[in-house]
Structure 1
């Protein structure tokens, strides 16, 4: 470790930051935050369509369960001192209700501090340094960051529009299939908003079985399908639990992002490995939050009249997509999630050079106060796109589209 002369002749260490931190995610998110602060300081009214954080609260029943549990005197011990089984049982009941999947809550489900917690630690639990995993490109940043933390190599699978933003499974070399510890998928997809059907998952499982690869599916947006789309679980396929695990989150579907609760379900060995690792890291989810999670899952099972979160985002999608198209930015309507994955509008510099996703995001924010995320934040295949989060009211989305339209017209050659 590099040192320098300190006070009183002592040697003071100068390296107080791990090189690994530079591998944990795209610096573009930090840049976007800085751009937003600069734009706000200049007096612009900011419409933040960057981070996918729900702008609605949980239902009254969920808030009541959380508040009442928080007042109980027996709720303040370490969660690990209790079984945690009631939440896992509720999760198993919901999986049966929603997908027809039967799971053992004691052995095939582990409670998480949000699905990102599990995604961040899964490679540590399953792999050794030098192992390899197959990841999507573009992909949610924690996917690659988790491999960096674990010293695991990532082999990227390009997701391109001409393939419906699905990986070409046959284009992955057999030697990569043989070497991979797991393949990570995410449908409905963040940031692409693409959806997959059970036929696709069956093909993945077939490949995975032949090569001894675990399938890891991130299903954080299961309740956010549009136009009648009901996103499936890979665990619906008979025998899938022998070869797959699936992450679920209450953050987006139940407006509980700040509560930090989710779960991993499926293959017993993989679930047990993550549970064992986390037993050495944290003491679990605060019990009142687990009570709130139970209330959310029970309400979803018992109240047929309760609208899914997707209904809100479907209306917002319709408003924004229609408005952007009217303003001269051709954007397709996504089938799920809370995001629009938009190819850059046909605009050019006076030099004739095309704009990058980073440049248009920065310049548009400076000029209009509208925040979007450059596609390259999610990987090299994201260049040429921006991600727009549907996290403002319909009126604000219309306002954002109008500002963007003026910006496009002002910069179009």
Structure 2
């Protein structure tokens, strides 16, 4: 028999923020993504959040009654609680498990992380979140007095709380060592790709905006093997792992396309720091494509969240295409529609839209390429093979002296092949 989804009350304090309704809607979607069912809402308008209990005392009494009426097991709140607020709410609501927005997102990430790197990054984020919330005898208590393997008992003067804190710090240090080794391996892979001198494009944007669908659509458009397809699902944070694929254009030009982890408003600081290495693909890209859910009435807020998060990750000054996806879900919206070389309205399920996106990517990515004519002597035939593999060859003829090739080449290849260039 399958376990039923636990019943959840969602709640929060409205400080008259203009985007509060949007945050509440998003919180409900996050709860759903974590396999829970929203059965009620509890919100309070305040000038400031209660430092001790988050809500006012009267609202807590209301929550007790509503939780009993709705048979709710959890209360999920829209903000990150302080350790004191979490402890006080635990005591005031003993029959309801308290979870804040940060804890909820961490739980989702923990369930969705598949690669070893993503799993370790989530573990660090969870441990950093727990560390200030440890308390003796509470839910966050990790171990009994006496320590575990590798931890000598430092005497009766050390409290259980101190021992638990030391255990977490040691665990974080061990995970960081393993992550450092994985970072070296990832850096080596990137260096190997850099040697191929292939330009890179990174899909970024809000979670569930359609990045993975866009990536799969582009792969299919250019007849890439089905095995290259990435996981996609209509759900927040369907995937956390960065995927990199090589795209082969009909012009013989190639580029690397990466699908990165999605963003969300109030993304926990612990996760932003933890996934910095995962998002290195975006930080080192030649072009960013911000995929935006154009069917969502809050899409402008999503653009702001994405750009704020990129700024927090120190990702600046990279050319960007604003790709407004899911236009097919907006009535009376014409698509594909190219508004500028950096702006496209499209649907990731529409081949014509994907072709327009590909054209924009190609135009921006290969803007510095030059169309040059070369005469390569037969004795240097290896360069003919090189051009056919690495450049967009437009024509190729033969005469008594060698092979004449007209090709679009990178600035680096233009220098590399300058001796064969025909200038008249």
TM-score tier after normalising by the smaller chain length: under 0.3
**Normalization by structure 1: what TM-score?**
0.23
**Normalization by structure 2: what TM-score?**
0.23
More strand by share: 2
More helix by share: 1
Larger radius of gyration, structure 1 or 2? 2
